[in-house]
A = this chain, B = another copy of it.
Amino acid sequence: MATIMAEAPVQQKSNGTAPDKRWVYLFNALDVLEKEVQPASWDDVRSLLGGKGANLAEMTRLGIPVPPGFTVTTEACNAYLAHDRNFPPGQWEQEVAAVHTLEQQTGKRFGDAENPLLVSCRSGAKFSMPGMMDTVLNIGLNDETAQRMAELTGDPRFVYDSYRRLVQMFGSVVMGVPDEPFEQIIEEVKEIRGVRLDVDLLAEEWQQITARFKGLIMAYTGSEFPEDPYKQLELATRAVFDSWFGKRAVDYRNATGIRHDLGTAVNIQTVVFGNMGEKSGTGVAFTRNPVTGDRELYGDYLMNAQGEDVVAGIRNTLPIGHLKQEMPKVYTQFLQICEKLENHFHDMQDVEFTIEQGTLWMLQTRDGKRTARAAIKIAVDMAKEGLIDKKKAIGRVQPAQVDMLLHPQFGNEAKKQAQADGRLLVEKAVNASPGAAVGMAVFDADTAEKWAKEGKPVIMVRPETKPDDVHGMIAAQGILTSRGGATSHAAVVARQFGTPAVCGAEELHINLEQRLFTVQTETENIEVQEGSWISIDGGAGEVYLGQLDTQEPDFEREVELKTLLGWADEVRVLGVWANADYPQDAERARRYGAQGIGLCRTEHMFFQEERLPIVQEMIMARSKARRVSALDKLLPMQRADFEGIFRAMDGQPVIIRLLDPPLHEFLPGHEQLVQELADLKVRLQHFHTLSEIDAALAEVRHKEDVLSRVEALRESNPMLGLRGDRLGIVMPEITEMQVRAILEAAVHVKRQGVDVYPEIMVPLVGHVNELKTVRKLTEEVAADVFKQTGMEVDYKFGAMIEVPRAALTADELATEAEFFSCGTNDLTQTTFGISRDDAEAKFLIQYVEQGILPRNPFQQLDRSGVGKLIEMAVQQGRQTRPDMSVGICGEHGGDPDSIGFCHQIGLNYVSCSPYRVPIARLAAAQAALA
């Protein structure tokens, strides 16, 4: 051993850490750790040992069979990375000492040819990053130990299979050789032998494969595979440390928001062999169904296989239930362990196990990833079972998961029609991640990412996926694989990101080179080229050719979600209102739990087909009298709209925003008109009859008339032009008509017994005098309506805060406004000086990619800029009017992070799209609990 120790890595001079610091903890040393480090919480233990290491230690303490091992801490990783990739002083000595302890615990010896101790080396960060970092199995094998072990066990097939795994993983993970040539060598040998499965290969073939693997490493790297087990261990430890900043890991952390300074721990564990014959096997399982959330074991296993075989999806697996027949005692023990783990960790567990010659070993437990639906069901069920309380249940579901549940689904009609048309390509593959997705087929991750950036929806189609593919999977609308089951890499990642996925669709014959797949249906052999449209139903495991229509999910049937949101409503402080322009929107909002309408945009009503001509007549009017006459025609239509919304929101407030967009938006575009005129004039040259020419000239005159009005109205920066309250002040007759429509509608429905709370909101206010002007108009109209109808209605008058000056002078505005609603879309535009229409394509995406902006501020509220203004509006507004109600009604009202901020600064409510109301309810509750 001394000689081996002499080859330990050269120590750096000093990296400032205490020389006796402990970098390594044995799995059974949790009590030692607690005594030495005195962690404040389990979270601190996880920070130090990583999630996997902490849980292995905890399982050991719980008396669950775990192969002995030890963990090199995340602190060691960070010290290594911070000091030019040098191990901190003492780490290597402690690793070597820990190996000696394993030797004592197992009675085997590391590097000993007679009774070799083999170990695995796995990464394990604080937060699970499945498949993102590297693993090396069977460290300790070399030519000498393998040969002797084969003799001793009498099972050379098993030994050389294990040895080739070490060489393969070491080559790829530690020495950087690509995966494919290794697999190619195995495929070649199988082809020569004429067998289909790995298990059918014989000992000498594995031995031959191992030798070829070594040659491959030498050819690729110019270095020999190290025969020295300690060298293997050292290099594997380094490789795991290094993998923390590998591209895959960095991408994953960027995508999921995990911090880059946490580091990873390294878990060194005695290898148990699932490939030691027919009584051996390996598998992964969830303690509940991660797709549906049902309380049942869910997983796959493979007999006579090791480690990654199950997860990689390379060989098709057996469902875990099958183990009950195959090894009933092991199955029962496994069930008990699962229950123990769930009770201990208070959450659904994702476990890995190996059976070595009939003995069950647990290799890992962690909180399991799950679909949105499962997350909700498990949280609600566990709360009902008493395993967690309601508040914890609320915290267990991410708001984004609620969104996934309410994602569109394919309608039954659409499916039936597609089937009738012969477009059902795959009827029953693995329903790996639910939801409907429609996109163009692409065959690699880079293309998926590229096309998605260009705005094309894509479905990524692969035989199986690997961690390298994640950037494409994130970009894709859906994922489709021909191999692998419900726990394959593709399935796990898809569920995590809420991307619909169908896996193991063996009917697909994927040809990556020709970039197409073929499917033999009952009637024909269909070829689907890259770029063709396909539709997948990840909940049903179905694949269709073409684009299927989607339909709204049925909220009423989401019983667990409704229960959870009911609990959320009990704890949240922030109100949740909805933006709705039509009665049917208002009804949906109410069904989804909205407590009011925070924004009813009256202009959307103007765009309706039968009204647009009247609106255009109003705009084209050359005199106020003509304008008023057009407005008179619009009045009953607007009134009817408002009546519908008031009825739908009986008993709840409805904020109606007065007309906001610039008038030219209601007219044809300038270019269109110019082009049409130019075309007409060209055509004029070809007319011959007088009547043709007369008609054409009349058309020219009309178009010129419209064009001149468009030219008079159009602006160089319409966003900052004559719109909002400016329009309603310059043309007060528009304001008058709208206020009249609102209040007449309110009186009318009140007479019918509806409990009505209209609130009139003035858009784009910048100065208190604007509010004064509109308020005076409003009060005059109100007095007239109440007098004429003989009935009064309480209404509120408020201001939209959507230019910075409104927020900066909120104390003044509050003298006139009874409520504020922050229009965060426009407020973000003016605070940044960025036009959303122009910016996203031209530089905003690049800004986010380059990290110049942390997030797209139109999606997630910019706290330090826009947020500061909103805080000022709240504080100054309430300074003047202590009971001032302040909400937001931009898109941020449906964004969980932004909702958290709104709660923090004491807003009264957020108002969002009806579809996002459930998300907002949950996010508001989580903010209150935070």
**Could you tell me which A residues sit within 8 Å of B by CB distance?**
670-671, 674-675, 678, 681-682, 685, 715-722, 726, 729-730, 764, 766-767, 769-770, 773, 802-805, 808-809, 812, 826, 829-835, 837-839, 842-843, 846-847, 850-853, 862, 864-866, 868-869
Contact = CB atoms under 8 A, between A and B. Distances in A.
Contact of A721 (B715, B722, B767, B835): B835
Nearest to A674: B674
Contact of A835 (B720, B770, B869): B720
- The 3 A-B residue pairs whose C-beta atoms are closest, nearest first, are A803-B833, A720-B835, A805-B865
A348 B720 CA distance: 49
Contacts of A717: 717-720, 835, 837-838
A821 to B, nearest CB: 16
A717 B715 CA distance: 9
A393 to B, nearest CB: 38
Contacts of A835: 715-717, 719-721
Contact of A830 (B685, B721, B830): B830
A388 B862 CA distance: 57
Contacts of A866: 805
A802 B833 contact: yes
Contacts of A722: 838-839, 842-843
A733 B723 CA distance: 38
Contacts of A773: 850, 852
Contacts of A718: 716-717, 838
Q: How many copies does the complex hold?
A: 2
A809 B715 contact: no
B805 A831 contact: yes
Contacts of A767: 852-853
A838 B716 contact: yes
A868 B806 CA distance: 12
B805 A720 contact: no
A538 to B, nearest CB: 38
B852 A729 contact: yes
B808 A852 contact: no
A726 B835 CA distance: 12
A803 B865 CA distance: 10
Nearest to A715: B838
B853 A809 contact: no
B808 A864 contact: yes
B720 A829 contact: yes
Nearest to A771: B852
A310 to B, nearest CB: 44
Nearest to A803: B833
A805 B826 CA distance: 13
A674 B862 CA distance: 40
A40 B808 CA distance: 38
Contacts of A812: 864
Contacts of A850: 729, 773
Nearest to A717: B835
Contacts of A675: 674, 678
B805 A832 contact: yes
A769 B846 CA distance: 13
Contact of A719 (B716, B764, B769, B864): B716
